[in-house]
Amino acid sequence: MQLKIPSLRWMLLAFLAVPLVWLSGWLLFAHFAGISSTSVSELSGLLAAIGGMMGAIFTVGGLVIALVAVLSQITLEDRAKRVMEDKFNELAPDLERRADRRIAGRIAFRDAQEALQTQDWEAAEQLAHEALEQYPDLPGVRSTVALRMTDVVQVTYLSRVYNSSHRNEAFYRQIDAARQAQPLTAPPEAPKAAAIEWLQEAMSHHDDPDGRVSAAQALVYGLNEAYEKMLAAARRGIAINPARRTELRAPQQLIMLTHACRNDPDRVRRFGEVLDLRLPAAVETVRASVEQIDKGRIDGVFVDWYALDHVLPGQAVPELPVTLRIFRMREESGMLSASASIFYGGRREEQFPASDPNAVNAPPPRLPLDDLISRLADRFVMLCPTE
């Protein structure tokens, strides 16, 4: 039951009218009763009596106003409570549907991650789309799918590099712990096209945690020979997190990125500026790497370098980098000499300098260290040591 509270204005008028009516009635009574106003002993006494009655009236009026205010507050709170209850009852079904959809979205995302671990790409993509349909704002779905696919693309590529250069032990040392879970069991056809799509999807939704998606996008664009896109993605990732520059300098990332350079030394040099890294590597850098390796040994020490073979206009760019294994020896005179084994993609191997086919049981020819390195630098675009 709702109380009907009179307005404050009418209550004030009523409190003012009461003493006026009382005074008027008293004067009329005195007039008809023949009481003279002078019979009153003192005018101040009359006024005091009137003032006392007025004070009593206003005291009672104040209490009534306070009571009215309290009742009004209770009425307003009751009304607000009913409005809130009605609104909640109206929204409750929709809120429950949203909660159910969010839960379903998180479950689908969890299942998508399990499918990514088993490399079931079709199921992973289907579940990821389902997760986003149920929960469009669920964070990390796009970047998780994109980064996982990029990891497999990278491992697949590096496994081919390993197979082309017979470097079993070094290969496993170079791949970080997260990727060692996918050694050489990656499928022959890694999901490169799907990885590009998910990377683009993640970028369009600003799902780029710590610049990782930008860096991954640069790697895949490198393999796809999209040079300008690779540069832009690398710059963006470094701008978000400068630590990405160190990550992209790593040998495994560098050979993927420079694939977009199409073995052009000028493109390689321009890309090196993005990484704040001198590319192609200087002859002095190559020599220092050969001189400093395994100082405890005298003969048979070597260092492996990644390099790009020069490509003539119109020629196809090799899919894999060249691996140069530079051997260091010390001659009886004390001079350092060197030779090299060159591993091309497709497991083709070449000795440099070449052996004399007519020589029998002759030791492999060697060149002075500086001479060999200069000739290799003229023939190849030197990138970096393999580790």
Res 74 pLDDT > 80: no
Give the whole-angstrom CA distance, residue 39 versus residue 95.
81
* Beta strands, E only, the chain: 301-309, 322-330, 336-343, 349-352, 367-368, 380-385
Q: What pLDDT score was predicted for residue 211? A: 95
Which pLDDT band, with edges at 50, 70 and 90, does 171 fall under? very low
Which pLDDT band, with edges at 50, 70 and 90, does 18 fall under? low
Q: Which residue has the higher pLDDT, 16 or 326?
A: 326
Q: What pLDDT score was predicted for residue 156? A: 87
Task: Encode pLDDT of 210-241 as tens digits.
Answer: 999 999 999 999 998 899 999 999 999 999 99
Q: Model's pTM, two decimal places? A: 0.69
Give the whole-angstrom CA distance, residue 272 versus residue 254.
10
| Chain centroid offset of residue 339 CA | 46
Task: Encode pLDDT of 19-41 as tens digits.
Answer: 666 556 655 655 565 555 444 44
Which pLDDT band, with edges at 50, 70 and 90, does 97 fall under? confident
Cβ within 8 Å of residue 274, ≥6 positions away: 231, 234, 235, 238
Q: What pLDDT score was predicted for residue 47? A: 53
Q: What pLDDT score was predicted for residue 94? A: 62
